[in-house]
Chain A
């Protein structure tokens, strides 16, 4: 089965940092763009960051630039999101997704990991 499993979500204080992980299985991880998408409580979907197959090309949402860093380890079938300077507005469920095709279609989603920023 094609699967993505996120981990690393936690309760963190404002201004803190956190690293999320996503482990892929059931497909050749190194052949796909991957993304992180988040969803604040009761809100819609927001793409946080995206990375190409080799890790040399990446995109970030404007509000995350300079604070979030996406990375991957193809040898370990893993995607990461390092988040710093966290604020209450970053409280959300963070999903790892696989990208299919040329315009970012997300055909496989993990169950998500919850990040709560609060003192």
Chain B
């Protein structure tokens, strides 16, 4: 399985700020990367697939970019409901997660 490394582990930001989350793959996954959001006590929710395509119902403030081994999830302006843990995924591998917390 490909190893996915997410950074930073924790991101402390205020509402309205821009969040930039990174996911690095141990080898090229072309654009086959997905991002999920998970809030406490809830299952993960698919945000982004194919590196940059938003899933159904996902707000435009969420965007994904990258290809090969380096990927980014950007939240353009944090809303209160965006404070959560974010995971990247390719096939059977998940990254370790980035927690976006309120500063």
Contacts and interface: CB of A to CB of B under 8 A. Distances in A.
Interface residues of B, number: 23
A95 B43 contact: yes
A32 to B, nearest CB: 14
Interface string B36-60: 1010001111100110000100000
Given A44-B96, A47-B92, A102-B32, A110 B43 contact: yes
Main secondary structure of the interface of A (DSSP, over half): strand
Interface in A14-71: 44-47, 50, 59, 61
A8 interface: no
B45 A59 contact: no
Contacts, number: 52
Given A44-B87, A106-B89, A101 B94 contact: no
Contacts of B32: 102-103
A45 B44 contact: yes
Contacts of A104: 89-92
Interface in A62-119: 95, 100-107, 109-112
A59 B91 CA distance: 11
Contact of A44 (B46, B49, B90, B94): B94
B94 A47 contact: yes
B45 to A, nearest CB: 7
Contacts of A46: 94
8 tightest Cβ-Cβ pairs between the two chains A and B? A109-B43, A103-B32, A45-B94, A47-B92, A104-B91, A105-B49, A105-B34, A44-B97
21 contacts: A44-B96, A44-B97, A45-B38, A45-B44, A45-B97, A46-B94, A47-B94, A61-B92, A101-B49, A101-B50, A103-B32, A103-B90, A104-B89, A105-B46, A105-B89, A106-B34, A106-B36, A107-B46, A107-B49, A111-B43, A112-B43
Given A44-B87, A102-B32, 10 more contacts: A44-B95, A45-B38, A45-B97, A46-B94, A47-B92, A50-B92, A105-B46, A107-B46, A109-B43, A111-B43
